[in-house]
């Protein structure tokens, strides 16, 4: 199972919106509405930000939103803040009943 493809880095100024893409195949992203997104800051455990493509867990800011079209999912962070600086990973359930992570995207707030 190959990792899902994400851009290595995305940056934006405070207050701007950024979007991170996550490209897979019809056997994972395209085949199921089980895409999730995780924020990972150094020295901390990953944190669930979006699940089931577009649902937000309780306590996660509504500045974070998710969507999917075909084999590509996207995470949008609006009103970018310094505290959003982290690595972000997408993940998908697969046709093999496994999970696969994306390659990861480093978000930098300029």
Partner 1 sequence: QVQLVQSGAEVKKPGASVKVSCKASGYTFTSYGISWVRQAPGQGLEWMGWISAYDGNTNYAQKLQGRVTMTTDTSTSTAYMELRSLRSDDTAVYYCARTVYYMDVWGKGTTVTVSS
Nearer to partner 1, 32 or 85 (CB): 32
Ramachandran sector of residue 104 (left: φ over 0; alpha: ψ -120 to 50; beta: rest): left
Q: Which of 31, 34, 72, 76 binds partner 1 (CB under 8 A)?
A: 34
Q: Which stretch binds partner 1 (CB under 8 A): 18-26, 34-42, 64-72, 75-83?
A: 34-42
* 63 near partner 1, rule: CB under 8 A: no
Q: Which of 22, 66, 93, 109 binds partner 1 (CB under 8 A)?
A: 93
Q: What are phi and psi of 31, to 5 degrees?
A: -95, -15
* 6 and 20 Cβ atoms separated by less than 8 Å: yes
Cα–Cα nearest to 25, from 92, 76, 88: 92
| Spatial separation of the C-alpha atoms in residues 7 and 4, rounded to whole Å | 10
Q: Which of 24, 38, 77, 80 binds partner 1 (CB under 8 A)?
A: 38
Ramachandran sector of residue 96 (left: φ over 0; alpha: ψ -120 to 50; beta: rest): alpha
Q: Which of 5, 52, 54, 61 binds partner 1 (CB under 8 A)?
A: 52
Q: Which residues of this chain interact with partner 1, rule CB under 8 A?
A: 1, 3, 32, 34, 36, 38, 40, 44-48, 51-52, 57, 87, 89, 91, 93, 96-104
């Amino acid at each position: 199972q190959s990792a899902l493809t994400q851009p290595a880095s995305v940056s934006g100024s405070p207050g701007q919106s950024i979007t991170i893409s996550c490209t897979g195949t019809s056997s994972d992203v395209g085949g199921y509405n089980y895409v999730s997104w995780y924020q990972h800051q150094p020295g901390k455990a990953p944190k669930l930000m979006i699940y089931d493509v577009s649902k937000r867990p309780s306590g996660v800011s509504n500045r974070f939103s998710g969507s999917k079209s075909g084999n590509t999912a996207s995470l949008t962070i609006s009103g970018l803040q310094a505290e959003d600086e982290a690595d972000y990973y997408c993940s998908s359930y697969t046709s093999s009943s496994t999970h696969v992570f994306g390659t990861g995207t480093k978000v930098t707030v300029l």
